[in-house]
Amino acid sequence: MPAASHSDLQRTIDAVWRIEAPRLIAGLTRMVRDVGLAEDLAQDALVVALEKWPQSGVPDNPGAWLMATAKHRAIDLFRRGETLQAKQEQIARELELDLTDGVSADPTADAAAAAQAGDDLLGLIFMCCHPVLALEARVALTLRLLGGLTSDEIARAFLTPRATVQQRIVRAKRTLAAARVPFELPAGEQLAERLPAVLGVIYLVFNEGYSATAGSDWTRPELCEDALRLGRMLAELMPRESEVHGLAALMELQASRLRARRGPDGQPVLLNDQDRSRWDLLLIGRGLRALDRAEVLTGGALGPYALQAAIAACHARARVPADTDWERIVALYDALAALTGSPVVELNRAVAVAMAFGPAAGLELVDALADESALAGYHLLPAVRADLLERLGRREEAYAELTRAAGMTDNEQERLLMLERAAGLAKREER
């Protein structure tokens, strides 16, 4: 290898780590049966690499090198233990056996190794999103172990102090160990039960990037990319699960609008005002294909993510807002509302009804939601009401609702947009 400068090598090692860390930690977790220990071992291997690679150069197969180094550390650790338990001795022996297997040139062995690596990654995903963990802990652990993000990056993404994120991760690992959560890929009914939690974590990360709930930026595209990467990964690892493709489709389609969703000064641009020529056609194509797969796999009733993706697809297919098939969107929201019973979905359905059948029909549905406790404090309820009132010519009421909505959002850019619209209403009122 040609002599590389120190910073070149550091960047190479960072890139190797980003690629290899998830597989490394997943494989080690299966072998040592403890995710905390697995991450420590992987980190130890990285430290050894940082010491050795400047002299020896980056090995041809850095992933295998890191894995072998981590396994040696594990064997040392187990054997050095004062009170060597039978179970630890057994793990150490398995690790040794694994090391002597080495790399084979046999393609069927390669395929088997790839399948094992895929199962390991899935096992790790399901562990990180295990229901014994709080939601924030699942998110932090998933981004750290599968997304390859540092605690610093996670902290910045969620505007949380780094110490809090670190503590969350440490506690999560402890909780998993204390609850003796097994490293396994759930099957059958258990899979159906546990999959929504995994999809929920990935979608939460995506949404935090897509419309940040707090802070001065309206969107954080990097976080969307992290979530998309996880979603695409999952779709490859679980190709027969309709909802996995549904989530991938939903994220691809929504991400296709990211650059049109943000004005030159970072302010939000709403769907109907977006310059649709700025939508990303590569992502739209990927999203529509993923939705097709989701539809083929269910052979009928779509799950909640696929339904949302189908709604997003209606928008993606319309080159101008007037082409939007709002009646189909209403039908999709009907199915989604029946499935989820969520008042937020009902609110969205009301918007679609207003678009398909006029603002009065929409307002009737929105007013029926006024007492819904789950929507108390939800800024989009008065925002939607304001929009419909405005279209019905009831400007004074619309102004009051917009002002109320502005006071309810924590996103600075969104608040400004609402106040601006309210000011516009007041101005027209004066004329």
Partner 1 sequence: MRFMVMVKATQDSENGVMPSEELLSAMGRYNEELAKAGVMLAGEGLQPSSKGARVRFSGASRSVIDGPFAETKELVAGYWIWQCKSLDEAIEWVKRCPNPMPGDSEIEIRQVFEAEDFGEEFTPELREQEERIRAQIEGQ
Residue 114 binds to partner 1 (criterion: CB under 8 A): yes
Where is 107: in which H helix or E strand? helix 107-128
Q: Contact with partner 1 (CB under 8 A): which of 286, 349, 379, 385?
A: 286
Question: Residue 259 or 395: which CB sits closer to partner 1?
Answer: 259
CB of 293 to partner 1, least distance (A): 13
| Per-residue contact string for residues 56-75; x = within reach of partner 1 by CB under 8 A | --------------------
- Interface stretch with partner 1, choices 15-23, 134-142, 330-338, 352-360 (CB under 8 A): 15-23
Question: Residue 15 or 214: which CB sits closer to partner 1?
Answer: 15
- Interface stretch with partner 1, choices 6-14, 27-35, 92-100, 346-354 (CB under 8 A): 6-14
Q: Which residue has the tokens 């750290």?
A: 144
Strands (E), 138-219: none
Q: What letters, b where the CB count within 10 A reaches 16 and e where it falls short, cover 252-289?
A: bbbbbbbebbbeeeeebbeeeebebeebbeebbebbbe
- Interface stretch with partner 1, choices 189-197, 212-220, 281-289, 341-349 (CB under 8 A): 281-289
Give the separation between CA 245 and CA 308, rounded to whole angstroms: 12
Residue 321 binds to partner 1 (criterion: CB under 8 A): no
Residue 14 binds to partner 1 (criterion: CB under 8 A): yes
Question: Residue 147 or 362: which CB sits closer to partner 1?
Answer: 147
The answer to whether 236 and 119 are in contact (CB under 8 A) is no
Question: Which residues, 6+ apart, have CB-to-CB distance to 236 below 8 Å?
Answer: 118
Residue 275 binds to partner 1 (criterion: CB under 8 A): yes
Give the separation between CA 31 and CA 91, rounded to whole angstroms: 7
Q: Contact with partner 1 (CB under 8 A): which of 28, 46, 176, 230?
A: 230
Write out the two tokens for 404: 């109320």
Over its C-alpha atoms, the chain yields an Rg (Å, rounded) of 25
Residue 237 binds to partner 1 (criterion: CB under 8 A): yes
CB of 277 to partner 1, least distance (A): 4
Q: Contact with partner 1 (CB under 8 A): which of 233, 345, 384, 406?
A: 233
Compute the CA torsion angle 128, 35, 153, 165 (nearest 10 deg): 80
Q: What letters, b where the CB count within 10 A reaches 16 and e where it falls short, cover 64-83?
A: ebbbbbbbbbbbebbeeeee
State the residues that interact with partner 1 by CB under 8 A. 11-12, 14-16, 18-19, 107, 110-111, 114, 118, 121, 225, 228-233, 236-237, 259, 264, 275, 277-278, 281-283, 285-286
